[in-house]
Every structure is written in structure tokens, then in C-alpha cells.
Amino acid sequence: MEERKTHLDGTAMALMILLCAAWGLQQVAIKVANEGISPMWQGGLRSIGAVFLVWAWAARKGIRLFDRDGSLGAGLLVGVLFAGEFAFIYWGLSYTTASRGVVFLYTAPFIVALGAHGFLSGEKLRPMQWLGLAFAFAGVVSVFAESLGMPTRSQLIGDAMLFLAAVLWAATTLVIKGGRLAKVSPAKTLFYQLAASALVLPCVSIALGEPGVITLTPLVLLSLAYQTVLVAFASYLTWFWLVVHYPAGRLAAFSFLTPLFGVLAGALLLSEKVTAALAIALALVVAGIWLVNRPPKPA
């Protein structure tokens, strides 16, 4: 078992920036794939494909996914949490706008930090680090501020669903970090979650009456492949490795970069509008990340 770190080193920071860029681009990939595949069904297909990739990768590396190691209970729990998170994201976005959804979803780093502060030894945040999280969240809010008017009843329902998704996202991170899954391979942790979502999301799609696969164009297939191979397989495998080895609260601060990368990707690939607020938002997020990860002054 590798030593657990008490701070983020250069490797962890570089990996988190790459992950946030990949997750931000995923927002564009989902929009593109929505033209040919219903959202919930799309999430299910992504998980089904990624399950086989994780299984093949684990077999190649000699990682045993089905050994009895006492992780089944925790694995089933994080699988249900993971599936529920994406179900609420896809379902909630049918009621509220993407801009509002992002703001409520990215309350998750606060919930992670609060849970880590209360339940994980050695991960208590200092007041300056809480201020850093507030700075980063303010950055996310500022870039989407134009879309945050008085909500309709429908939007309130969607907002609540996205907040529930944030709670489930945070709970998944804390269960992995503080329980039996911290001692198993990240591949096995990911396998639990993908297997559960591969079963749950298609069922939810049918229950909601989604049409499923509408039309398959090369661009739709490319977008689904990106979500399956680079996001659900490669990026999540890297993320769970980071969660096990580095402080969860400090990692969570970097996730505020994801919606900003999503805005940039939308501007570059979908010709979406970018305002000057993005520069302010980026400055606030970077300042927040710096405050969260700044080492304390020696006593």
C-alpha cells in the first residue's frame, strides 16, 4: 500500500487539472450525444462500455475484481450512490437550466470538505482553507450569474435534484476515502460503481419513458466513445486513485475548474457565448485553490 499524502504534490495538481479539463469537455460531449441518444440511456451505455474496459484492464494488470476481501458492502453502497448521482443530474437537468444546475452541483466540494473535517482524521480544514473554497465557489457563481434569476417551480425541482446529486457525489468520495474501499484497488472501486450504474440508469431511462437511441451519427458515436473511454474509464480510475492517496478536501477544491473548462469547451467547439466574467471567475477559482492548498505557517 502506497503512503497516503497530507498535501497535494505537483503530480496530483497536474492530474487534477487534466481531469477537470476532461470533465469540462464531457459537458460538450453530452450535449452533442443528446442529439442521438436520450440522456439517461446515454449514461447507461457509457457505464456498460466502461465496465468492460475496467474488467479488461484489471485482467491485464492481474487485479482480482471478484476476490472476497470484505469490500462488497461498501462497494454496493458506492455503486448505488454513483448511479443515483448521475440519475439526479440527468433527470434534474430536464427541469432546470444547465447554468443553474452547475451552481447547485458544485456545492459538492463544500460537502466533501465538511464531511472530511468531521469524519476523516488528519483532514480538518483551517479557516483560510474554508475561505479558499468560498472564493472558488464564488468564481463558479459569477460565470453563471446572468442565468440565476428568480426560479420557476419547475426549476426549483431541478435545483433540488442537482443538490441531491452533489450530496451523493460527496458521499461517494467520503465512503471511498474513509472505509474499506481505501484498501482495495481503484479499479475494483470503479468496477463497483460502473456495474451498478450500468444496471440502474437504463432502468431509470425506461421508467422515465425516454426514447433511448434516436439516431447514431459519427459525431454522436465519437461523443459517446469519449465519455466511455476517456471519462468513465480513464479519468475516474485516476480520480479514485487520487482520492485514496491525497486529502479529499484539497482535491475537491480543484473540481471548481470543471465548469469553467466546460464553458471554454462550449465556446471553442459549439460557438457558445463567453463573457468577461469568465476571467474573473478563473481568477477567483485559482485564488481559492491556492488558499486551500497553501501550507500553514510554522508555529
Model pTM score:
0.82
Give the residue among 5, 2, 29 at the shortest CA–CA distance from 270.
29
Q: What is the pLDDT of residues 75-98, one digit of tens each?
A: 999 999 998 988 888 788 778 777
DSSP 248: H
- Report residue 160 as a C-alpha cell: 433540488
Q: Could you give the 3-state DSSP secondary structure of residue 247?
A: coil
Using alpha carbons only, give the angle 164, 258, 226 rounded to the nearest 5 degrees.
95
Per-residue pLDDT in tens (0 to 9) along the chain, 299 residues: 455 677 888 899 999 999 999 988 887 888 888 889 998 899 999 999 999 999 999 999 999 898 888 888 989 999 999 989 888 887 887 787 776 777 788 888 888 888 887 777 667 778 888 888 888 888 888 777 766 666 788 888 888 988 999 899 899 988 888 778 888 888 999 999 999 999 999 998 998 888 999 999 999 999 999 999 999 999 999 998 998 888 887 888 888 888 888 888 877 877 767 677 777 887 888 888 888 877 766 65
Contact 228, 43 (CB under 8 A): no
Q: In whole angstroms, how far apart are CA 148 and each of 6, 160, 262, 266, 289? A: 37, 15, 18, 19, 24
- Report residue 89 as a C-alpha cell: 443530474
**Whole-number Å distance between alpha carbons of 199 and 148:** 35
- In the chain, where the domains are located: 10-293
